Amino acid sequence: MKNVVMICAGLLCSAPAFAETAATPAAPELAIGADARAWLDLQKSPSAQVMNTPPVPGEVATEVYQRYVNSFKHPIPEKFSRESYVQSGSSGGSSQ
> Which among 50, 49, 28, 48 has a CA at the least distance from the CA of 38?
48
Residues 12, 5: contact at Cβ < 8 Å?
Answer: no
pTM score, two decimals? 0.30
Look at residue 96 in the predicted model and tell me its pLDDT.
46
Q: What is the 3-state secondary structure (H, E, C) of 11-67?
A: HHHHHHHHHHHHCCCCCCCCCCCHHHHHHHHHHHCHHHCCCCCCCCCHHHHHHHHHH
What is the residue-level pLDDT of the chain in tens, covering all 96 positions?
Answer: 677 666 766 777 665 555 555 567 776 776 788 999 999 999 888 888 777 878 889 999 999 999 999 999 988 888 877 765 566 665 555 554
Look at residue 48 in the predicted model and tell me its pLDDT.
80
- Give me the count of residues in the chain: 96
The answer for residues whose C-beta is within 8 angstroms of residue 45's C-beta and 6 or more apart is: none
Look at residue 69 in the predicted model and tell me its pLDDT.
95
- Alpha-carbon span 22 to 15, nearest angstrom: 10
Look at residue 18 in the predicted model and tell me its pLDDT.
55
Look at residue 46 in the predicted model and tell me its pLDDT.
85
